[in-house]
Amino acid sequence: MIKRAATAILMVLALAAVAGCSEADSHDGDLVMGAPNSPSMQVMAQIYAGALRHAGSPVSMTVPRGDYRSLLDDMDATTVDLFPAFSGRLLSELAPQSAPPTADQVYSELNRSLPQGVSVGDATTVSATPQIFVAASVADHEVTDLAHCSRLAPGLPLVVVGDPDGPTIDALSAAGCRFGPVESVPSSSAVVRRVAGGGAVGLLTPLDVAGDDAEGSSGDIRALTVPKSATETGAGATADKATTAESPSDDAPGGRAVAATGPRAEQLVPVYRTAALSRDQVKTINKVAGEMTTADLATLTRRAVAGAAPADLANGWLAEHGL
C-alpha cells in the first residue's frame, strides 16, 4: 500500500514537472531570433529582438541565419523562436500550388499552412510585391496599371536583379504582358537606369525602389499598379495594391480580355514559435507592424549594405519610434 502511494506521488510530481516545463516555455531562457540571409531581414530580426529586450524580455545576442525551410526546422527543434519573412515567399515554400490573389488572402492562407506550433504576427506595411516598372515617359502615355501591360511595345527586354522568378514571370504573362528576353543585372539601381531610358521594362519591388539612390533616377520610372477595385483591407492591406485586378484589358492580343492577376503579394511578417512567446511578447512584436514602413526598411537596408551594424540600426530605429 505504501509502495503504491509512493508510486502515485512520484507520478503526480512527474506530471507537474512536465506541465511546469510546458508553462515555462514562454518565459525561461533567452529568446532566439533567426534571420533569412539578406541585409533587410537581418535588420528586422534585430528590430524584433530590440523591441522584446526593451519590453523586458531576455533575448539571445546570437542570430542564426538560413533559408525559410531551415529556420522552420530550427523552430521545430526549439532552437529558433522568431524570424521575419515575406508572406508570399514563405507561402510558396509551404504550399507551392496555392495562389491566393490578394495580400489578405496570402496572409490567411499562410496562417493555415504553417506547421503546427508556429504562428504569424501582424503584417507590417513593408511590401516586396514584384511590380513592373516603365519609364515615366511611357507611363505618361496612359500605360499606368497592369491591365495596360499589353499596350507596351512587344518584345521590350525585362530587366531583373539576379535570376528571374518563374512564377512571377508566369503571373505577368497571365496578366497580358508580352515581354522580350529577360536581362539580369547586379542591382536595383542598374534596373532603374535601364528602364529610365525607355528601352526596357523592369521588375522591382517597392522595397527596391524606396532604397534606390542612383542619382535620383528612380523618379524617372513608374510602377504599373492595379485598379483599386481589388479589395485590399485589414491586416493584409498594402499601399501599392500590386496584387490583383478584376477589370480586363481591352487591348489584349486578339481582342480578348485578360484579367491582370499579377504576382503574389509579399508583406513582411513575424513568424514565431507559438509556445515560446507570451501574449504580452506577441503584443510587443505586433507594435512593430504599426511603425515599420517600406521606406524605413529600405533606408536601414541601404545603411546595412554600406557596413552599418544591423543591431545599431535597429536600436536607432526603435528609439525614434518609442519602442
| Same domain (yes/no): 291, 199 | no
* Distance in angstroms (rounded) separating the CA atoms of residues 315 and 323: 9
The domain tally of the chain equals 2
| Same domain (yes/no): 251, 286 | no
CATH label of the domain that carries residue 226: 3.40.190.120
Task: Tell the burial category of 302 from Cβ atoms under 10 Å away from its Cβ (0-12, 13-18, 19+).
Answer: middle
Q: Residue 289 CB: number of other CB atoms within 10 A? A: 18
| Same domain (yes/no): 255, 135 | yes
Give me the domain span that covers residue 51: 22-126+267-320
| Same domain (yes/no): 101, 149 | no
| Same domain (yes/no): 240, 273 | no
Is residue 160 one of the residues assigned to a domain?
yes
Is residue 201 one of the residues assigned to a domain?
yes
Is residue 9 one of the residues assigned to a domain?
no
The pTM of the full predicted model, rounded to 2 decimals, is 0.78
Q: Which grid coordinates are listed for 172?
A: 505577368
Helix (H) or strand (E) holding 85: strand 82-86
Is residue 12 one of the residues assigned to a domain?
no
**Structural domain ending residue among the three candidates 227, 259, 291:** 259
Contact of 127 with 240, CB cutoff 8 Å: yes
| Same domain (yes/no): 33, 88 | yes
Please name the residue ranges forming H helices in the chain: 2-24, 39-54, 68-76, 87-94, 103-113, 136-139, 166-174, 188-196, 206-210, 279-289, 294-305, 310-320
* Distance in angstroms (rounded) separating the CA atoms of residues 49 and 82: 9
pLDDT for res 175: 80
| Same domain (yes/no): 120, 33 | yes
| Same domain (yes/no): 254, 136 | yes
Full pLDDT tens readout for the chain, 323 residues = 444 544 444 444 444 444 444 433 444 589 999 999 999 999 999 999 999 999 999 999 999 999 999 999 999 999 999 999 999 999 999 998 887 778 899 999 999 999 999 999 999 999 999 888 988 887 766 777 788 888 888 888 999 998 877 888 888 888 888 888 999 999 888 899 889 888 899 999 988 888 655 445 556 888 887 654 333 433 333 333 333 333 333 343 333 333 446 788 899 999 999 999 999 999 999 999 999 999 999 999 999 999 999 999 999 999 999 99
From 24, 20, 128, 25, select the one nearest 75 (Cα to Cα): 25
**Structural domain ending residue among the three candidates 211, 235, 259:** 259
**Structural domain ending residue among the three candidates 236, 259, 282:** 259
| Same domain (yes/no): 255, 175 | yes
Is residue 1 one of the residues assigned to a domain?
no
| Same domain (yes/no): 77, 116 | yes
pLDDT for res 171: 83
